[in-house]
Amino acid sequence: MSLQVEDVMVEDVVTVEADVTVKRAVGLMNKYEIGCLVVTKRGKPIGIVTERDMLTRVLAESRSPEKTKVSDIMSRPLIVAQAEMDLEEAARLMFKMKVKKLPVVSDGKLVGLVTLTDLARFQPQVIKLLKKIQTMETAPKRMKKVADYYVV
């Protein structure tokens, strides 16, 4: 039996509406001590905003967090995993698309979030899977840190 995304995903995903300011989004991230928010429009997931997005698209560009909307800096299109997706397939998707966080959907609805770190620390068989993928595909620099730390 192989593990599926729904077996390791976090179900309580914090979301933010697209028209919210970056300052307000940062407040949510600090409140919940998280590194990303799934961006929604009328309840439908349309993007993701991460700490890195805020550093590169707000701070580095000297944009105003009070005036900049989350929709202006979010990563899109949103790359998602299906809840019933095999973990190996999800890990391959992360490497291929160079992302560390995958919102999880089922029937078009957001049901969870899985990160590269979740996969790496879940259990030994996932570590073997990441080693296998790492030998076949080059990890992007920001993913390499997680892979090098957990995959020894």
Q: What is the pLDDT of residues 80-96, one digit of tens each?
A: 999 999 888 998 899 89
Domain locations along the chain? 5-150
pLDDT value of residue 142: 65
CATH of 5-150, one of 1.10.3720.10, 3.20.20.70, 3.40.1440.10, 3.10.580.10: 3.10.580.10
Measuring CA to CA, how many Å separate 71 from each of 3, 54, 109, 116?
A: 34, 12, 19, 24
Q: Which residues of the chain are modeled with pLDDT < 70? A: 1, 122-152
Residue 26: predicted pLDDT: 97
- pLDDT at residue 138, rounded to an integer: 66
Q: For position 107, what pLDDT does the model report?
A: 87
